[in-house]
Amino acid sequence: MPEPPLRLATRASALALAQSRLVVDGLRAAWPELQVELVTVVTEGDRRRDVPAAALGGKGIFTAAVQQAVLEGRADLAVHSAKDLPAAQVPGLVVAAVPEREDPRDVLLARRRLGGLDDLPAGARVGTGSPRRVALLHWLRPDLEVVPLRGNVDSRVRRVHAGELDAVVLAAAGLRRLGLAGEAVPLDPEAFTPAPGQGCLAVEAREDDTRALGLLGALTHRPSRVALRGERAFLRRLGGSCTLPAGALLRQAGGALEVQGFLSGLDGKGLVRERLRGPTDDPEGLGEALADRLLDAGGPEVRALVEDSRR
């Protein structure tokens, strides 16, 4: 009797579906006879697009319903943008695969081609829904008007083309996966530090599902998984919320790992930066050390935000 199809849970947005198809393609390349079905799920973040993500609590608003589909047996796998995944692992699930990371940088998409943030005129309206990006924009260009923004990638791009905004800041990975990257200008990650896990996909399965775990083993790209482990440890140390104004990027540096990151108050107040190097066999320890160093360097407002995130 043939094996039943592998059911893959995903959000229904164009980007989520594109990401899920990348996972399907990887599975079929490794297992040509494998049948895979997509199971679309509506998350809290999808239902309440009129409410800022931070007001919804941030943790799991784009992932919890997808994870629940796997836990309840309605699906075998869940595919997430790793930056949306809360740092605390859901009991019963494991991150079973991390495919090769796409470009982790943020990009600036404007009505006319620019060289970067410095080319925007004073008072330009720049849209973003991310507290991390809000903080960095205020820190780097306090003369800009930062406009709160929700919605999928397509709707954000349309608001720029319609003249409602002068520019938006988006993840390079999302635009690349949708074939829209040609219009955007990458932002230097040394100054505009990405979100932990940005550019990575995380594929979850039930921890006792030996079939799914066996099939997913072929998808993992080890350097990407190492980077994600360190960056998620950084986020976990700070409370695990993807709405905290913080960023981290871990990379291989010769025979060591190097991680750089920042932590700030809202509107970029009290922003602190650090860079650390460590051994290749302990990415979690390096991520945690970075978080501790930033907490030590941060002021009262920064510490208060982290305490709120930990509650």
The residues annotated as belonging to the active site are 83-84, 132-133, 150, 156, 242
What HEC string does the chain produce? CCCCCEEEEEECCHHHHHHHHHHHHHHHHHCCCCCEEEEEECCHHHHCCCCCHHHHCCCCCCCHHHHHHHHCCCCCEEEEEHHHCCCCCCCCEEEEECCCCCCCCEEEEECCCCCCHHHCCCCCEEEECCHHHHHHHHHHCCCCEEEECCCCHHHHHHHHHCCCCCEEEEEHHHHHHCCCHHHCEECCCCCCCCCCCCCCEEEEEECCCHHHHHHHHHHCCHHHHHHHHHHHHHHHHCCCCCCCCEEEEEEEECCEEEEEEEECCHHHCCCEEEEEEECCCCHHHHHHHHHHHHHHHCCHHHHHHHHHHHC
